[in-house]
């Protein structure tokens, strides 16, 4: 246990966050995402599990340490609802509030079609899977600088 660091941030996740550089991407996903399959294609190469942790808590904890990229228009990406690209599910507004609060400003979130999201996730640095039941709890954060 460390002071000032949320206990949801386990040692493996902290290690991965420290290895990441500006522009690297971190996927934060729900339990339904094919995270294990895609994680093998990431830079980190293995899945990081946050068992027992939901998306909102995980995002809040990660964003206490992880600056979002200010050099890109949309430093956060999410998966679109299949068959309804303009569809909304509750986690979308929850995550919008979390990233806006963490950055102290409005943050643009870009929606990607399901398979485009998977391809983008494969190019990420690492994948962090929560125990959140979803649906559509799949987000990609681009790392900025401190």
Q: Which two tokens stand for residue 129?
A: 């899977």
- Cβ atoms of 17 and 127 within 8 Å: the answer is no
CATH class of 11-142: alpha beta
- Cβ atoms of 20 and 14 within 8 Å: the answer is no
Query: What are the pLDDT digits (tens) for 71-91?
Result: 999 999 999 999 999 999 999
Environment class of residue 103 by beta-carbon count within 10 Å: exposed (0-12), middle (13-18) or buried (19+)? Answer: middle
Q: How far apart are CA 23 and CA 114, in angstroms?
A: 22
Active site residues: 22
47 pLDDT above the threshold of 80: yes
What are the residue boundaries of the structural domains of the chain, listed by start?
A: 11-142
Query: What are the pLDDT digits (tens) for 116-140?
Result: 999 999 999 999 999 999 899 999 9
Q: What is the pLDDT of residue 2?
A: 80
1 pLDDT above the threshold of 80: no
- Sheet strands side by side (includes 126-130): 48-50, 126-130, 25-29, 138-142, 76-79, 109-112
């Amino acid at each position: 246990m460390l002071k000032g660091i949320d206990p949801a941030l386990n040692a493996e996740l902290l290690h991965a966050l420290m290895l990441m550089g500006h522009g690297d991407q971190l996927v934060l996903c729900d339990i339904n995402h094919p995270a294990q399959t895609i994680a093998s294609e990431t830079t980190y190469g293995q899945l990081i599990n946050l068992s027992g942790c939901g998306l909102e808590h995980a995002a809040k904890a990660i964003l206490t340490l992880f600056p979002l990229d200010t050099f890109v228009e949309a430093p956060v990406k999410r998966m679109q609802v299949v068959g309804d690209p303009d569809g909304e599910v509750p986690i979308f507004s929850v995550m919008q509030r979390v990233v806006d609060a963490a950055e102290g400003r409005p943050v643009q979130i870009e929606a990607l079609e399901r398979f485009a999201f998977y391809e983008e996730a494969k190019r990420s640095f690492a994948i962090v899977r929560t125990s959140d039941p979803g649906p559509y709890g799949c987000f990609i954060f681009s790392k900025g600088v401190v």
